[in-house]
Structure 1
């Protein structure tokens, strides 16, 4: 599949192919890498790293992404696309430049910087949404970032998570764990939404707390990448309920499309999403469904 022609544009001020940024080293990109994950390894924001490689990008907020796609196609040799066909994803044997960090970072420091970079992305600053009487303000994600910087939430790498993320509010201090191979940054937003519930001492049930987690994940993806192809739950998930899990992803996607513009839906609108958690037969949702969950703060 070719990239959406509206998402790519030749640079107005071309960086030479042999451009060598100061104090840098070539890095062979791997499947699963992203600008955000690589930027975290060197203590940069994603756009800092992009402009480190392509310093002549325009300052306009729309054109740079199109020019970056051109560089990824013609300089890096990317062929893999995001599900919506609007952006290239890294794949071997391409290379980009990484700045040499001032000091080596531990895996946990890399993970922390990745979480902070995601929480402070422009799209997260637009994530104001609610269901029924529960509302999430985009400013709450910045509060979580500050809590991480203050040590109230620690970020750890856990290889056993297999490309997932988890939030543990009962630990002291609270903890976010990431797989070292995590590729879906929406999962980080999902777990940070649970941290918001904890930080604000909200009393809910699993249908609400997990529903908001999946909604935030879907909303982040749509705000960042636009509409995407349907996520299909694999059929080889037994003993999990395929219908319930598919409903969770389908309804999260549907409601996120509404929340992009209306910012609020009723509990009746979210009834199918919330109801699906009762029959998942896996993930611990069904055994906790309907029970009151209290959060004691950070």
Structure 2
């Protein structure tokens, strides 16, 4: 880990910043391979420096120096590595009078010609395809659900229509990230509240209607975490399954029906989708629903008998051991930015 010079002055304002995690802090300062440097002085910013050195994308310059594309982490480095301490907008550091603790003038280093960031970075001229595409698709899907979904209420879990927009904004800002996890089944996902990551099955986005359902499911967990809602773990899973079931059906009713028809004794997920199909075909005028809203009997398209969607949803969760284990588990959700960029062992697998 690099030893940074530190700032001479304390910030003259309250910056929006975040210290990078230990594992992600830069290894070299100055950055290895720099072809030049320029002083961080009044009248300059990253854009003007990039232009003067013919750097095609301003993020190439930023990532070369600090190995991050998080604006808050960039702010932290500007203070601790470059010595910035003033601001023109009250949130971000400007280059005015940047001075390091050794009384040196702050420096911004220039990458080699035709240098591009590693593909893992979404910004810059070396944009990584997979993370960027996952992010763009997910934000679009969640914004569409924001318009089409009802409010879902189940005990302590309350999922307003705005929740999908809020989660979309968290993903767009990089506060919540998405990753493909090859070890997951292609139609599954999970949210890690420690890492603030949504892990997706490796081929999930090839199946469009199911993508809406799985993201609605995970958005339930993200939103509950974001609003620091204390809930019963099993009841939150039921609410997230309701969101998944309804999301598939409001996007593609036929796809919802196909999933119902796929139910077999060894494939219990078909039980999930009867509730959403009933909502889309019989109850779409309702803007607020709970599990009790589905406590009635309708003709089941596969079983050819009257069935209760509430009972089907309950039966599904009771039949899965991993859900049943959560019956007595209370979850205290705390959204804490101090854990940003935390990497847990399971998510790295």
* TM-score interval, smaller chain: 0.5 to 0.7
SS at match of 2:285: helix
Corresponding position of 2:18: none
CA distance in 2, matches of 1:105, 1:218: 32
Match status 1:280 vs 2:306: no
Match status 1:147 vs 2:170: yes
Selected match of 2:264 from 227, 235, 246? 235
Structure 1 residues 1-298: aligned runs within 5 Å:
104-121=127-144, 123-132=145-154, 134-172=157-195, 174-182=196-204, 183=207, 184-186=210-212, 187-226=214-253, 228-231=256-259, 232-235=261-264, 237=266, 242=268, 245-255=269-279, 257=281, 260-269=284-293, 271-272=310-311, 275-282=314-321, 284-297=322-335
TM-score, structure 2 normalization: 0.47
Deviation at 1:281, TM superposition (A): 3.4
**CA spacing shift, 1:268–1:137, aligned 2, 3 Å:** closer
Deviation at 1:291, TM superposition (A): 2.7
Deviation at 1:135, TM superposition (A): 3.2
CA distance in 2, matches of 1:267, 1:180: 31
Q: Map Cα deviations across residues 167-219 of structure 1 (whole Å, 9 max, x no partner).
A: 333323x0011233112212122212221121122222234212222222222
Count residues with an aligned counterpart: 190
Deviation at 1:252, TM superposition (A): 4.1
Corresponding position of 2:70: none
Corresponding position of 1:73: none
User: For structure 1, which runs of at least 5 residues remain unmatched after alignment?
Assistant: 1-101
Is contact 1:259–1:265 with CA below 8 Å preserved after alignment?
no
Q: After the TM superposition, which parts of structure 1 deviate over 4 Å for at least 4 consecutive aligned residues?
A: 255-259
User: For structure 2, which runs of at least 5 residues remain unmatched after alignment?
Assistant: 1-124, 295-309, 337-349
Is contact 1:204–1:293 with CA below 8 Å preserved after alignment?
yes
Q: Using CA pairs below 8 Å that are at least 6 residues apart, which structure has the higher relative contact order?
A: 1
TM-score, structure 1 normalization: 0.54
CA distance in 1, matches of 2:168, 2:292: 32
CA distance in 2, matches of 1:229, 1:278: 20
Is contact 2:275–2:313 with CA below 8 Å preserved after alignment?
no
Is contact 1:156–1:176 with CA below 8 Å preserved after alignment?
yes
Is contact 2:150–2:289 with CA below 8 Å preserved after alignment?
no
Q: Map Cα deviations across residues 44-73 of structure 1 (whole Å, 9 max, x no partner).
A: xxxxxxxxxxxxxxxxxxxxxxxxxxxxxx
**CA spacing shift, 1:256–1:289, aligned 2, 3 Å:** farther
CA distance in 2, matches of 1:155, 1:126: 23
